């Protein structure tokens, strides 16, 4: 990537995070995973542009939907795949997704913002980093390079925190058995504690045309 393109990308992220968080001064070069999570999730922004059965959410405009199945979605953005799963049953029962956070991970942290529990777990394997972020009864997973972690955390946080559930619709769906109790979710297989069970993820869209992406005006303006 050219120097000018790198600087433009940084400016977009800095401006977007400034508007999301209201911070007076911020630099993408000095952001840590901790501060990125805190700055994005601690805010209560009301951005919506996507409506699904039982909830609405904000899909960044540089996210392109690749696949959907029930409450599973795969988005492509800047050459990366974001796997999103919205757990309506967990929200209805107010039960958070269970996940064994690995102590030897590259990064792991639990958090609670606006009364909503969440966690982030990052595993490293063969120069790639596998991110799993759960918040607001939804999970996003992705595979990125080290210099893409902060950007991915920011966009994931914006999307997850934007989800607004419709209690009336969800109650109707559950009480009328319109949601399968054994609903499967897309899952990105990354490194595990047993090396022999590791399944590498095949990127189908490595040649995605990044130059044709349009910056998200709702985030950066």
pLDDT in tens, 129-141: 999 999 999 999 9
β-bridge partners, 165: 55
Whole-prediction pTM:
0.74
Please tell me the total count of domains within the chain: 1
pLDDT in tens, 152-206: 999 999 999 999 999 999 999 999 988 765 556 656 655 544 332 222 333 333 3
Three-point CA angle 90, 96, 100, nearest 5°: 130
pLDDT in tens, 92-144: 999 876 677 777 899 999 999 988 999 999 999 999 999 999 999 999 999 99
The range of the structural domain enclosing residue 22 comes to 3-220
pLDDT in tens, 1-37: 444 444 434 444 544 544 444 443 455 667 899 999 9
CA nearest neighbour of 57 among 163, 135, 170, 133: 163
The neighbour count for residue 71, using CB atoms within 10 Å, is: 20
The neighbour count for residue 51, using CB atoms within 10 Å, is: 11
At 215, is the pLDDT very low, low, confident or very high (cuts 50, 70, 90)?
very low
145 contacts: CB under 8 Å, gap ≥ 6: 127, 128, 129
């Amino acid at each position: 990537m050219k120097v000018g393109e790198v600087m433009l990308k940084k400016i977009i992220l800095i401006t977007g995070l400034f508007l999301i968080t209201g911070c007076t001064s911020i630099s993408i070069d000095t952001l840590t995973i901790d501060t990125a999570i805190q700055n994005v999730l601690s805010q209560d922004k009301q951005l919506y542009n996507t409506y699904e059965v039982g909830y609405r959410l904000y899909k960044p405009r540089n996210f392109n939907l690749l696949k959907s199945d029930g409450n599973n979605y795969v988005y492509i953005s800047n050459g990366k795949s974001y796997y999103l799963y919205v757990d309506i049953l967990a929200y209805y029962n107010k039960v958070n997704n269970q996940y064994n956070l690995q102590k030897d991970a590259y990064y792991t942290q639990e958090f609670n913002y606006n009364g909503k529990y969440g966690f982030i777990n990052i595993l490293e394997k063969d120069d790639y980093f596998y991110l799993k972020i759960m918040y607001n009864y939804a999970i996003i997973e992705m595979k990125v390079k080290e210099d893409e972690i902060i950007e991915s955390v920011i966009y994931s946080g914006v999307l997850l925190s934007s989800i607004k559930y419709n209690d009336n619709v969800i109650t109707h769906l559950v009480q009328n058995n319109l949601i399968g109790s054994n609903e499967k979710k897309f899952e990105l297989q990354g490194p595990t504690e047993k090396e022999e069970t590791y399944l590498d993820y095949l990127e189908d869209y490595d040649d995605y045309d990044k130059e044709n992406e349009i910056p998200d005006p709702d985030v950066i303006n």
